[in-house]
């Protein structure tokens, strides 16, 4: 039976500022091989097999125009040491500045797409766009992950596919603030293991 309205909750105006959100750096390159980086927190999981993700880019953004033309990008997962770069890439346009040159980060080649990987990011996902959904202010890109590149220092061992989160040190967005992840609370499925 559903109870009445909770006295502990109030209705507020709907917003996209819920929490937490992953912070990633999207790299892309235009047809003249001009590289670009944009910081986003609008990444989601869409499908398991094949592995599909979504990113949403504002239609007015320089990166949106590039990704729409090339139909590829790389998701670079930054760590806490890259916080200043993360903030900078979200505040300036790639139309006016070469963000790789301004940041001194290293663009490296992947295996499947022309868009560069950021060497300093411990995890990189090469992606090819399968579908674009035109929304009101944003385009939603549904893309297949073609390859994952992981820094061996964040793996539990060199032959493992398991990541040490305390070594990865990803960033998250909480409203208008950057946050880090501090500790594991419990593994998924722990309630079933107790019985």
The larger pLDDT score, comparing residue 190 to residue 178, is at 178
Q: What is the residue-averaged pLDDT of the chain?
A: 91
Q: Determine the Cα–Cα distance for residues 77 and 72; give it in Å rounded to an integer.
A: 17
Span 98-126, mean pLDDT? 96
Span 161-175, mean pLDDT? 86
Minimum mean pLDDT among 17-31, 87-101, 176-190: which range? 176-190
| Residue whose pair of structure tokens reads 């960033």 in the numeric block | 171
The pLDDT of residue 120 is above 90: yes
The domain ranges of the chain are 21-193
The pLDDT of residue 194 is above 80: no
pLDDT at 17 (0 to 100) = 75
β partners of residue 124: 76, 149
Whole-angstrom Cα Rg for the chain: 18
Span 146-173, mean pLDDT? 86
In eight-state DSSP terms, residue 165 is H
| Among the listed residues 165, 49, 39, 129, the one whose alpha carbon sits nearest the alpha carbon of residue 91 | 39
In this prediction the pTM is: 0.91
pLDDT at 12 (0 to 100) = 84
Span 20-43, mean pLDDT? 93
Q: Regarding the domain with residue range 21-193, which homologous superfamily does it belong to in the CATH classification?
A: Electron Transport, Fmn-binding Protein; Chain A (2.30.110.10)
């Amino acid at each position: 039976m559903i109870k009445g309205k909770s006295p502990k909750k109030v209705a507020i105006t709907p917003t996209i500022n819920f929490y937490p959100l992953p912070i990633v750096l999207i790299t892309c390159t235009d047809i003249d091989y001009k590289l670009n980086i944009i910081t986003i927190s609008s990444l989601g999981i869409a499908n398991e097999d094949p592995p599909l993700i979504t990113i949403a880019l504002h239609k007015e953004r320089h990166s949106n125009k590039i990704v729409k033309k090339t139909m590829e990008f790389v998701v670079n997962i930054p760590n806490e040491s890259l916080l200043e770069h993360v903030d900078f890439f979200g505040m300036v346009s790639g139309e006016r500045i070469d963000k790789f040159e301004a940041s001194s980060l290293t663009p490296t080649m992947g295996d499947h797409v022309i868009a560069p990987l950021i060497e300093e990011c411990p995890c990189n996902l090469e992606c090819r766009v399968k579908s674009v959904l035109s929304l009101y202010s944003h385009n939603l890109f549904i893309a297949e992950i073609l390859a994952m590149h992981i820094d061996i220092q964040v793996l539990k061992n060199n032959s493992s596919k398991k990541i040490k989160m305390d070594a990865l040190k990803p960033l998250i967005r909480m409203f208008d603030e950057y946050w880090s992840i501090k500790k594991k609370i419990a593994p998924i499925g722990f309630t079933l293991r107790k019985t």
